[in-house]
């Protein structure tokens, strides 16, 4: 890295605000995905004006700049694909304002998702988007990726809860998008910015909506001897117009991996379980739980039980949210996919995933947001076995192709990042991608902000992208 | 107004067939925005035809405006030029409806009513309870950004629009999003289309989430002597576990205007005279659910309402009351020859302050006024002058300008929803400025490089 730039960065942020030794950079060359890319340096701004100066420096020196929260992302969004500077928001972690009366909070981007909910719990409020990595992931990262989570089924994803942003554009200008009051005038810049994966600007402040905690919650565990029965239950719950707060599925393989680790009380001999939560007014919750249990039983659930208390409910959720960590204990490496399909296609898709696993002789676990039709197949492999690694990538691609064939999408909540840019032409035409590119250029004309993400660089989709050969860390989805 | 060149109308006829080209001035008048009528109107039947028309318009340097049922053209700033109306009502098909997945793809010209009938067969609906409901199309509703009392519980179109296909100003068919309920593939270009008034593209397909239709609607109306006490009830409900379907605060005159004969013509149905027209500030909350849930709401709402007078509304009365609130804008437009409807938003706790400001501003300017406030912090404020005389115009302009100042002082947003077209110039002023406005202008030129789309909500004509 240019010593002049390094000098300028240290002058701006202090020596302790800049990392550039190779051993320090190791931590920042990966996220929760299977990709790696090493930055030239990592910097830690403390204020919006630090970020402004930082952006100006990067542009002046023509060096790529990539924002990063906790690095829990699953598509390489926070990796410096083309080198350059990573701006970590680990020092912008203040909750700036809690306005209980209007159910708003204003936070810096480095605030950890779960910390905000903890900070407002005494007011009977929470921040509804709850990625499984919520104990580590940051709200800035959630905004960039438009993150989901189990409870987005009823509550919506991040974009439905963000009211306003302050962001620094590559020009060094500060913009305020949206407003804490609803319906800001003009085009919906906020709507297009959320989920732009750090390619439009660096977010320095976020105003979110806080949601009242429900009066009553019931968590059901339905146990199945066949995967088909479980997926058909989900399709039927959807078709009947029941919207639980969450509806998650784990297959037998995942159950056994998790149970060995978390001891959540999942039955080891089951083919699948559904974890279904209903919440709201106590009068509504009782009847809704009954309706859900009825559908489960009609589809041959072996057993349906309701968590007796908060402790049991927390344990069940702990089992669900640690499923990916559990996979990491079993296999040297694994690859988590993130396809989406119409809910009616759940049974057929899961059967296809099983066939793909058998075809390549790979173990594939399934733990996912069934109610949203958002799959997360976990493909296990050993990266030392080159053929197995290639097979894992092929299997993942086949699963995504199946999602597209069924009318779905290549990513539901993990983002395109550097993982799936090459797959974008499967969903979008050249005209679609060209317009997206021109929209990106409105915000990021020089292209130095998070380059090499979302949009494929080459024309056509025949290019074979060689994945870096590296074991995955233990992410969570 | 000059006639369209014969070459253009034959060019259009080649694309859509002569029967779908309108050149008769009487018919064209119905496509007018204010005093401005197009020279020609064309009715495409497919997205390809739309793209061809846009390309032809670019080549011939025509300024075009896409229209649906033309119910909300008054919400548009009259364009500088308006040569061609692109009538989208022939694109009215349901492309796909998967009731078991609760997703839908429609062409923009389908009417909300026709769509509602199809969805109702499956016990489903889309929470677009928007003004002009009986005529409006889906495309016009989305493009105008019209909102609905149901946003209190379902959010707005941006929360349940899954994807779109549209034709850009260079005549290309482009899409974003998809037709699944969760999706982060690519940039959400379709979010820009919502409320853009046809200035960025012509919608050709809209993918939406559907919802189970609420069953057993009920309502509760409570009366107050001041806006502030009504807002206090709104705050208490927000602090309770109750989540009403809708929550609206009506000014005394708004409540009365929703009960009058004119209102009944727009939105028929029986409503006990006193239910809304009590001469006081009124809160209308609606809720739905199974019997025990309804009882809980009734009990819970009365509890938080405390000593305030209140009246329960049964199923049909609640539906009528909600329908009237939904049609506040059309009712206001019928109540005055020169209605000016302002859309203002503030933090929910400040609704009372802004309603107070608005009342005194209207009183001082000597113009009749009515207001409804949605619980989410949005206020529709209607100034209802007796005539379009210049004196009233300057009164209204003064009131609007003071209202804008009050709104900005209370850190809110302000826009003119509709007004007499010839008054626009003295009333409109986009609140956005600086770097944000610059981004919007650049986006407009990316989507519409040659300026073929005549609508421009960013235009500042003052």
Which one of B120, B186, B214, B300 would you mutate to disrupt binding with A, by most A Cβ within 10 Å of its Cβ?
B186
In a domain, B459, yes or no: no
Q: Which of B64, B255, B47, B284 is nearest to B167 (CA)?
A: B47
In a domain, B123, yes or no: yes
In a domain, B450, yes or no: no
Q: Does A411 touch chain B (CB under 8 A)?
A: yes
> What digits encode the pLDDT tens for the residues B58-101?
999 999 999 999 998 888 778 889 999 999 999 999 999 999 99
B345 burial via Cβ count (<10 Å: 0-12, 13-18, 19+) = buried
What does DSSP say about strands B211-212 and B202-209: parallel, antiparallel, or unpaired? unpaired
Share of chain B above pLDDT 90, in %: 87
Rounded to a whole number, what is the distance in Å from the CA of A469 to chain B's nearest CA?
Answer: 25
Rounded to a whole number, what is the distance in Å from the CA of A246 to chain B's nearest CA?
Answer: 14
Take residue A131 and report the two structure tokens written for it: 């990625």
> What digits encode the pLDDT tens for the residues A315-357?
999 999 888 888 888 888 888 899 999 999 999 999 999 999 9
- Check residue A364 and give its pLDDT: 95
DSSP A186-218: SS-HHHHHTTSTTSS-EEEEEEEE-EEPPSEEE
Do B177 and B258 belong together in one domain?
Answer: no
Contact A124 B442 (CB under 8 A): no
Closest chain B residue to the Cα of A436, Cα to Cα: B187
In a domain, B392, yes or no: yes
Contact A191 B192 (CB under 8 A): yes
User: Which CATH number goes with the domain that contains B289?
Assistant: 3.30.70.3450
End position of a domain, from candidates B212, B239, B273: B212
End position of a domain, from candidates B327, B355, B370: B327
- Check residue A208 and give its pLDDT: 98
Take residue B180 and report the two structure tokens written for it: 């699944």
Question: Could you tell me the residue range of the domain that residue B109 belongs to?
Answer: 95-212
Rounded to a whole number, what is the distance in Å from the CA of B434 to chain A's nearest CA?
Answer: 9
Rg (CA), chain B: 22
> What digits encode the pLDDT tens for the residues B166-215?
999 999 999 999 999 999 999 999 999 999 999 999 999 999 999 999 98
Do B260 and B306 belong together in one domain?
Answer: yes
Do B416 and B319 belong together in one domain?
Answer: no
Contact A241 B124 (CB under 8 A): yes
Closest chain A residue to the Cα of B297, Cα to Cα: A281
User: Which CATH number goes with the domain that contains B67?
Assistant: 3.30.43.10
Take residue A302 and report the two structure tokens written for it: 């072996």
CA distances from B87 to A225, A388, B36, B49, B67 (A): 56, 57, 16, 12, 5
Per-residue pLDDT of chain A (477 residues; tens, 9 = 90+): 889 999 999 999 999 999 999 999 999 999 988 889 999 999 999 999 999 999 999 999 999 999 999 999 999 999 999 999 999 999 999 999 999 999 999 999 999 999 999 999 999 999 999 999 999 999 999 999 999 999 999 999 999 999 999 999 999 999 999 999 999 999 999 999 999 999 999 999 999 999 999 999 999 999 999 999 999 999 999 999 899 999 999 999 999 999 988 889 999 999 999 999 999 999 999 999 999 999 999 999 999 999 999 999 999 999 998 888 888 888 888 888 999 999 999 999 999 999 999 999 999 999 999 999 999 999 999 888 999 999 999 999 999 999 999 999 999 999 999 999 999 999 999 999 999 999 999 999 999 999 999 999 854 433 333 344 344 444 444
Number of structural domains in chain B: 4
Which one of B184, B188, B460 would you mutate to disrupt binding with A, by most A Cβ within 10 Å of its Cβ?
B184
How many CB atoms neighbour CB B333 within 10 A? Answer: 23
B112 burial via Cβ count (<10 Å: 0-12, 13-18, 19+) = buried
In a domain, B441, yes or no: no
CB-nearest partner of B440 from A186, A420, A433:
A186
In a domain, B231, yes or no: yes
Chain B, residues 75-94, CB within 8 A of chain A, namely none
In a domain, B252, yes or no: yes
Closest chain A residue to the Cα of B182, Cα to Cα: A412
Do B62 and B100 belong together in one domain?
Answer: no
Do B42 and B106 belong together in one domain?
Answer: no
Do B320 and B221 belong together in one domain?
Answer: yes
Do B200 and B238 belong together in one domain?
Answer: no
Do B207 and B221 belong together in one domain?
Answer: no
Do B70 and B166 belong together in one domain?
Answer: no
Do B305 and B342 belong together in one domain?
Answer: no
Do B46 and B130 belong together in one domain?
Answer: no
Take residue B315 and report the two structure tokens written for it: 């199923």
CA atoms within 13 A on the CB side of A267: 17
pTM for the predicted model, two decimal places: 0.96
- Check residue A333 and give its pLDDT: 87
Do B12 and B83 belong together in one domain?
Answer: yes
In a domain, B457, yes or no: no
End position of a domain, from candidates B327, B355, B383: B327
Contact A342 B242 (CB under 8 A): no
| Averaged pLDDT for residues B253-277 | 87
């Amino acid at each position: 890295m240019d010593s002049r730039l390094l000098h300028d960065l240290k002058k701006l942020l202090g020596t302790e605000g800049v990392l550039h030794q190779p051993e320090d950079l190791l931590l920042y060359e990966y996220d929760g995905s299977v990709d790696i890319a090493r930055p030239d340096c990592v910097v830690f701004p403390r204020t919006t004006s630090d970020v402004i100066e930082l952006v100006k420096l990067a542009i002046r020196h023509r060096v790529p700049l990539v924002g990063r929260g906790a690095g829990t992302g699953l598509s390489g969004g926070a990796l410096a694909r083309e080198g350059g500077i990573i701006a970590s928001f680990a020092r912008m972690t203040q909750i700036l304002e809690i306005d209980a009366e209007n159910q708003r909070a204003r936070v810096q981007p480095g605030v950890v998702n779960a910390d905000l909910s903890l900070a407002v719990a005494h007011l009977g409020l929470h921040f509804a988007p709850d990625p499984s990595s919520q104990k580590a992931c940051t709200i800035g990262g959630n905004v960039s990726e438009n993150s989901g989570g189990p409870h987005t089924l009823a509550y919506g994803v991040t974009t439905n809860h963000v009211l306003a942003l302050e962001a620094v554009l590559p020009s060094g200008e500060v913009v305020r998008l949206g407003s804490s009051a609803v319906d800001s005038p003009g085009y919906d810049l906020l709507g297009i910015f959320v989920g732009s994966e750090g390619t439009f600007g660096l977010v320095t402040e976020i105003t979110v909506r806080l949601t009242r905690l429900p009066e009553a919650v019931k968590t059901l565990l339905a146990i199945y001897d066949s995967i088909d029965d479980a997926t058909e239950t989900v399709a039927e719950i959807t078709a009947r117009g029941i919207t639980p707060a969450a509806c998650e599925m784990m297959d037998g393989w995942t159950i056994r991996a998790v149970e060995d680790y978390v001891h959540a009380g999942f039955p080891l001999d089951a083919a699948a379980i559904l974890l279904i939560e209903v919440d709201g007014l106590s009068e509504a919750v009782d009847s809704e739980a009954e309706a859900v249990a009825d559908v489960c039983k009609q589809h041959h659930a072996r057993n349906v039980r309701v968590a007796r208390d908060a402790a049991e409910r927390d344990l069940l959720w702990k089992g669900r949210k640690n499923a990916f960590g559990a996979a990491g204990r079993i296999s040297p490496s694994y690859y988590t996919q993130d396809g989406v399909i119409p809910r009616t296609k759940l049974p057929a898709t899961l059967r296809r995933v099983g066939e793909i696993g058998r075809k390549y002789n790979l173990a594939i676990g399934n733990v996912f947001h069934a109610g949203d039709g958002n799959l997360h197949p976990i493909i296990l492999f050993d990266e030392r076995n080159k053929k197995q690694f290639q097979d894992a990538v092929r299997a993942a691609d086949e699963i995504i192709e199946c999602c597209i064939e069924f009318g779905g999408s290549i990513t539901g909540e993990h983002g395109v990042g550097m993982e799936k840019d090459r797959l974008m032409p499967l969903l979008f035409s050249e005209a679609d991608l060209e317009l997206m590119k021109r929209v990106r250029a409105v915000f990021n004309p020089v292209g130095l902000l998070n380059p090499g993400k979302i949009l494929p660089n080459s024309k056509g989709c025949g290019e074979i992208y060689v994945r870096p050969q590296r074991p995955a860390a233990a992410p969570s989805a | 107004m000059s006639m369209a060149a014969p070459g253009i109308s034959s060019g259009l006829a080649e694309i859509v067939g002569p029967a779908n080209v309108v050149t008769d001035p009487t018919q064209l008048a119905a496509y007018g925005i204010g005093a401005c009528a197009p020279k020609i109107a064309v009715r495409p039947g497919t997205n390809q035809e739309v793209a061809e028309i846009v390309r032809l318009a670019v080549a011939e340097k025509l300024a075009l405006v896409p229209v649906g049922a033309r119910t909300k053209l008054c919400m548009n700033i009259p364009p500088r030029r308006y040569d061609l109306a692109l009538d989208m009502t022939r694109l009215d098909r349901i492309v796909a409806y998967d009731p078991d997945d609760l997703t839908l793809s429609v062409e923009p010209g389908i009417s909300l009513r026709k769509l509602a009938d199809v969805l109702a067969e499956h016990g489903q609906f889309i929470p677009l309870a928007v003004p002009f409901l009986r005529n409006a199309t889906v495309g016009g509703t989305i493009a105008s950004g019209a909102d609905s009392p149901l946003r209190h519980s379902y959010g707005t179109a941006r929360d349940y629009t899954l994807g779109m296909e549209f034709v850009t100003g260079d005549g290309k068919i482009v899409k974003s999003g998809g037709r699944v309920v969760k999706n982060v593939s690519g940039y959400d270009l379709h979010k820009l289309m919502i409320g853009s008034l046809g200035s960025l593209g012509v919608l050709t397909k809209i993918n939406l989430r559907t919802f189970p239709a609420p069953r057993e609607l009920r309502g509760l109306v409570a009366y107050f002597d001041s806006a502030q006490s009504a807002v206090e009830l709104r705050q208490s409900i927000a602090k309770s576990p109750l989540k009403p379907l809708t929550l609206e605060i009506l000014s005394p005159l708004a409540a009365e205007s929703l009960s009058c004969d004119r209102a009944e013509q727009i939105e028929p149905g029986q409503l006990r005279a006193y239910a809304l027209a009590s001469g006081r500030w009124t809160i209308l909350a609606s809720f739905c659910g199974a019997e025990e849930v309804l009882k809980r709401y009734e009990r819970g709402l009365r509890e938080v309402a405390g000593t305030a007078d209140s009246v329960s509304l049964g199923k049909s009365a609640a539906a009528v009351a909600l329908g009237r609130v939904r049609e506040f804008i059309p009712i206001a437009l019928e109540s005055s020859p020169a209605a000016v409807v302002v859309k203002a938003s503030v933090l929910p706790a400040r609704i009372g302050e802004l309603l107070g400001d608005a009342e005194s501003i209207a009183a001082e300017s000597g113009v009749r006024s009515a207001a409804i406030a949605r619980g989410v912090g949005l206020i529709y404020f209607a100034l209802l002058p007796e005539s379009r005389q210049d004196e009233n115009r300057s009164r209204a302009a003064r009131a609007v300008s003071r209202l804008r100042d009050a709104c900005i002082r209370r850190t809110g947003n302000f826009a003119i929803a509709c007004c007499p077209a010839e008054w626009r110039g003295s009333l409109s002023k986009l609140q956005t400025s600086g770097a944000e406005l610059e981004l919007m202008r650049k986006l407009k030129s990316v989507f519409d490089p040659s300026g073929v789309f005549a609508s421009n909500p960013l235009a500042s004509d003052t």
